[in-house]
Structure 1
Amino acid sequence: MQTSNPTGTVVVIGGALKADSDAVWQRLVDEAGGEGARVAVFPTAAYEPERIGAQIVAALQRCGAQAELVPIAPNLEGVDLQAALHDPALIARVAASQAVFFSGGAQEYIVDTLQPGGQPTAMLDAIRAVFAAGGVIAGTSAGAAVMSRMMFRDAMDNLAVLKGQWRAGQEYDRGLGFVDADLLIDQHFLKRGRIGRMLPALQTLGCRLGLGVDENAAVVIKGSRLEVIGGSGAVLVDMAAATRDAALPAFNLTGARVSYLDAGDSHDLASGVTTPASHRLAETRIDPAAPGFEPGEQVERYFLDMLGDGCMRQALMHLLDGPSDEVFGLAYRARPQADDTAPGLGFEFRLRRGPGFVGWLGEGDCTVLGARLDVVPVKVAMPMFTPLVAAPRT
């Protein structure tokens, strides 16, 4: 994989970053130059930009940065958005920064403001100048989503996207493109089960790699190298060997590679090599294909909500340390919504071991590399179940 933007550093934060998560805040400041680094904070995506922007500025200042709020946000009261967006003095101050930080909220506010109709504004050019000079471009939640060439715009219903609701300008849109064009970034990933929208997006948009960053975690991207930091981890999806059956009337997938990287792990996008954190390497390496492998879990599990909170991570861990070479789960809606055009459509997820599938399990953390993933459309009975009734008395 070639990286088209090797100059600066990108920090993508999965959202819900705690104010005291100094592993992330301090790393961002250090990447920007350390004590006194000038950081321009854009609360553009926020619904309460003044409050959210002030929180971000305070967190960065606590870590030694000279952080400044940039008053560009559709929801910022008392500010002429267009005047601020085209203010030469403000544009110059942003261009002179060493880092730019985008808040969370609604990512469409960011692209619609800085890149209306797909055309960059002078303010966006100033932000790009920071990156071209070797600076840092960072964002949390919505601010992370815009880093890709293409981004999720408003695709909150993961199952609806799996069922085919995937429209330009609605579920997806053009992002700002600070990372390689072949990499798609998503946020709140494990918490909100967003593997359900990541897979169709990768397939439809032709992106080879998907990076799903969990809440209170971040990924630092420099050229082809990425490193996970913070209190959780990230899912890496590789579609290089994935195929689909065009004869099937719904989304399907065979042979995607899925890995879970935890804090301290690093990965090279060019070589495909993952290096686990040093403390994790001190733990026992689990290789289910090795002679004498003894699973730590003895009971097979079937996951009834593959799009549930943290379910993908749990399924990967069970595949690593469980008794079977395959782990299955289901994505479906037991009580379809009124506007569901395919109420009986569900999807079975099949995670399986293959060559190179290994991992490490620690106390509260893990690294799982190289699982294979298939997704098969299935028909779900409606209703899926009915209550038992008591037998009549004789």
Structure 2
Amino acid sequence: MQRLRLLLCTGSLLCTTLAQAGTAIVIGGALRQDNPTVWQRVVREAGGPGARIAVFATAAANPERSAQQIITALQREGADARFIPVAPRLPGEDLQARLNDPALIEQVRSSQGVFFSGGAQELIVDTLQPAGQPSPMLRAIHEVVDRGGVVAGTSAGAAIMSRMMFRDAQDNLGILRGQWREGREYDRGLGFVGPDLFIDQHFLKRGRIGRLLPAMQRLGYRLGLGVEENSAAVIKDRQVEVIGARGALLVDLREARSDARLPAFNVRGARLSYLDSGDRYDLATHQATPAPHKLREPRIDPAASDYKPYLPRGHFFGDILGDGAIVSAMAQLLDSPADEVRGLAYEPVPGARGRASRLGFEFRLYKAPGLQGWFSGALGGEDYTVLDARLDVIPVQVAHPLYTPLRPTAMPASAPHP
């Protein structure tokens, strides 16, 4: 078994080699207690019932409460889960003493799994990796993964999984418009999924395709994975398996290009794939495999001679960054007669008077060779898998107000009074 070695890269950037022996479980946030699929998988990857799992609520506003909720869920599945009291917001504790406590470090090192709570991801990296340097506690966590253990994290605990991460970037449009500062919007992550995959969370619910695309472009990532709430991506041996309530969006920029002449973010030829629960993706071959229940259904191939689209012609999405809008647009593209589906990302100007304009972005999804998918209602919903939808994003000027009310006209004299 190859060991995972920590390296200091140019500029003191912490990175990892690809020889990761363990499993990373990236949870998109808002993980429900009654989602046994995800909780059971964490315990299973750690070794099954009796597995020792160290719980870090370092990111949490109320570490003790968050840790206890996680411990309860893991213990319900048979794990021996224990709180590691290393959190800046834990009252009455000496953070540095706990962080460097040999007994706590050994407890982590001897665990078979590590679980990071949600909260503020900057608290995790600032605590475990101050000034970009791995602490002894972080080295102990990497040892767990190195020998085949599992590292899991939800929300903030998912954000820290990639080599670089969003630090505090709540404004999707702000990122699209170029707001991008080291130590503010982005920072070093902990690198549990290797150096070539960028992670985002709460993805569909919060329309975070708007921040993922420019972040990947700025940081030089070709592959990005946005995991939806109450769902998880299990990453092991360069394989991604999606589990839980919904799915994850894979963004592939390997063939994408941009126009440097345009004064704002733009991209052409991005590939988007929506991986539903049970779907898999091979990071080495870039091949996706739908869930077994999907493969029992006919493949939807717009290029096939017998293609019969089910949905009406795709409509325009007035807020492409809305809850689930990007996946709805992809489903429209796959399963409707439309050759393209468009949407707009913009923000009204509160209180604007007269005609004004503001920078927005048009999202254009379009059919191209390779687009295919599957649909299934076997799990009680209308569930699509969509592979290789193409996307262009171009900057546009949006007029404000975008629309104006019609004014009443004079009522004809012959018209009866109401």
> How far 1:300 moved relative to its partner?
3.0
Match of 1:173 among 187, 206, 227: 187
Corresponding position of 2:387: 369
Alpha carbons 1:5, 1:179 under 8 Å: kept = no
Alpha carbons 1:104, 1:140 under 8 Å: kept = yes
2:28 is the alignment partner of 1:18 = no
Corresponding position of 1:111: 125
Counting aligned pairs with the same residue, the percent is 63
Alpha carbons 2:314, 2:333 under 8 Å: kept = no
Match of 2:359 among 345, 348, 371: 345
> How far 1:219 moved relative to its partner?
0.5
Corresponding position of 2:345: 331
> How far 1:79 moved relative to its partner?
1.3
Corresponding position of 1:252: 266
Corresponding position of 1:34: 48
Larger Rg: 2
The 5 Å alignment of 1:152-301 reads 152-301=166-315
In structure 2, list runs of 5 or more residues that go unmatched: 1-15, 413-418
> How far 1:19 moved relative to its partner?
0.3
The 5 Å alignment of 1:27-106 reads 27-106=41-120
Match of 2:400 among 382, 386, 389: 382
Structure 2: how far apart are the matches of 1:3 and 1:21? 32
Over residues 109-132 of structure 1, what are the superposed CA-to-partner deviations in whole Å (9 max), with x where a residue is unaligned? 000000011011110011011011
Over residues 198-227 of structure 1, what are the superposed CA-to-partner deviations in whole Å (9 max), with x where a residue is unaligned? 000010000110000000000000121010
Q: Secondary structure at the match of 2:55?
A: strand
The one-letter code matched in structure 2 to 1:369 is L
Alpha carbons 1:267, 1:275 under 8 Å: kept = yes
Q: Secondary structure at the match of 2:78?
A: coil
> How far 1:284 moved relative to its partner?
1.5
Alpha carbons 2:232, 2:247 under 8 Å: kept = yes
Corresponding position of 1:146: 160
Structure 1: how far apart are the matches of 2:345 and 2:136? 44
Corresponding position of 2:3: none
Aligned length: 390
> How far 1:335 moved relative to its partner?
2.9
Q: Secondary structure at the match of 2:111?
A: coil
Corresponding position of 1:392: 410
- What TM-score, normalized to structure 1? 0.97
The one-letter code matched in structure 1 to 2:147 is A
- What TM-score, normalized to structure 2? 0.91
Match of 1:360 among 374, 383, 387: 374
Q: Secondary structure at the match of 1:90?
A: helix
Corresponding position of 2:9: none
The one-letter code matched in structure 1 to 2:397 is K
> How far 1:170 moved relative to its partner?
0.4
Alpha carbons 1:336, 1:343 under 8 Å: kept = no
Over residues 142-175 of structure 1, what are the superposed CA-to-partner deviations in whole Å (9 max), with x where a residue is unaligned? 0000010000000001011001101111000000
Q: CA RMSD in A?
A: 1.5
2:149 is the alignment partner of 1:131 = no
The one-letter code matched in structure 1 to 2:182 is A
Structure 1: how far apart are the matches of 2:82 and 2:57? 11
Alpha carbons 2:119, 2:155 under 8 Å: kept = yes
